[in-house]
Amino acid sequence: MMDTIGFLGCGNMGGAIARAVCKAVDPKKVFLANRTAAKAQALAKELGCKTATNAEVAGDCDLIFLAVKPQMMEALLQPLKFTFDERPSRFVLCSMAAGLSIARIQEMAGEDFPVIRIMPNTPASVGEGMIQYCSSNVTAEEEEAFLRIMAPAGRLDAVPESLIDAASCVSGCGPAWVYQFIEALADGGVACGLPRAKAQEYAAQMVLGSAKLVLESGKHPGELKDAVCSPGGSTIQGVRVLEEHGLRGAVMDAVIASYNKTKEMGKG
């Protein structure tokens, strides 16, 4: 049913998903197409899959990942409309373009083809992604097959399409801000005398472990924060400084700014 899988685009996000997919299926059944052919060739060599042209992916693959930026989607799909239309067999398109609705993807592709819309993040490349999805005209069997193919990427969660833009601004954009936080923690460690590599390792492992504790304990982050803050201790002084500098308000503003930009991109 979803025997062959194609990627139209092999950038950071397309590459991350391709790495995960190749753990679930035979890489020889995965086909990569990219505007810069060398990028597709390098990834295909790394993963043991094959390269193809856009038209070959559009004409032959059962599940087709549309892994280009939202503003490039129309230019990608326009030349493939006829190929899609002429296909005798059923296929599913999977878009990961922020802000573009399923209806808009179908309009660009030329028909109400089955579409799954996902909001992945780059940690999918190491099997720890957070991926929200919604779909249209997709059967229960196809959804099941899709979830099986995507399982090595991390956690998947079905959401109504009305929430997917908000979700993307927490877990899709969020890694960038977490990397800023990890870098800042490491900088602080270096300022206190730690070697750079050690400071970075400690900061990254700390974030990983803290996130795992939230997920596995089910406790409110505030409760977990309180457990680290001893009366009259050093941690609460750091908490006070972060509150003075408006950490929480700044993070909320970052999510809202990304959300507004995503909505704007969807109107284009």
Residue 69 assigned ligand-binding role: yes
Residue 265: predicted pLDDT: 84
Residue 70 assigned ligand-binding role: yes
Residue 252 has pLDDT above 90, yes or no: yes
Residue 268 has pLDDT above 70, yes or no: no
Whole-angstrom distance, CA of residue 258 vs CA of residue 111? 30
All residues at 6 or more sequence positions from 100 whose CB lies less than 8 Å from its CB, including other chains: 70, 73, 117, 265, 266
pLDDT in tens, 193-233: 999 999 999 999 999 999 999 999 999 999 999 999 999 99
Q: Which residues on adjacent β-strands are paired with residue 32?
A: 7, 51
User: What confidence tier does 10 reach under pLDDT thresholds 50, 70, 90?
Assistant: very high
Question: How many angstroms separate the Cα of 61 from the Cα of each of 151, 234, 241, 251?
Answer: 20, 57, 54, 41
Whole-angstrom distance, CA of residue 88 vs CA of residue 84? 9
Residue 68: predicted pLDDT: 96
Whole-angstrom distance, CA of residue 71 vs CA of residue 199? 39
Residue 10 assigned ligand-binding role: yes
Q: What is the DSSP letter of 53?
A: -
Residue 98 assigned ligand-binding role: no
Residue 260 assigned ligand-binding role: no
Residue 34 assigned ligand-binding role: no
pLDDT in tens, 29-81: 999 999 999 999 999 999 999 999 999 999 999 999 999 999 999 999 999 99
Residue 125: predicted pLDDT: 87
pTM assigned to the model: 0.92
Residue 86 has pLDDT above 70, yes or no: yes
Classify residue 117 by burial, with Cβ atoms within 10 Å: 0-12, 13-18, 19+: buried
pLDDT in tens, 97-153: 999 999 999 999 999 999 999 999 999 989 999 999 999 999 999 999 999 999 999
Residue 1: predicted pLDDT: 76
Residue 225 assigned ligand-binding role: no
Averaged pLDDT for residues 250-267 = 93
Q: Which domains does the chain have, with CATH numbers?
A: 5-163 (3.40.50.720), 174-267 (1.10.3730.10)
CB 237 within 8 A of CB 139: no
Residue 12 assigned ligand-binding role: yes
Residue 121 assigned ligand-binding role: no
Q: Return the CA Rg of the chain.
A: 21
Residue 15 has pLDDT above 80, yes or no: yes
Helix, strand, coil shares of the chain, percent, nearest 5, are 65, 15, 25
Tell how strand 30-33 and strand 50-51 pair up: parallel
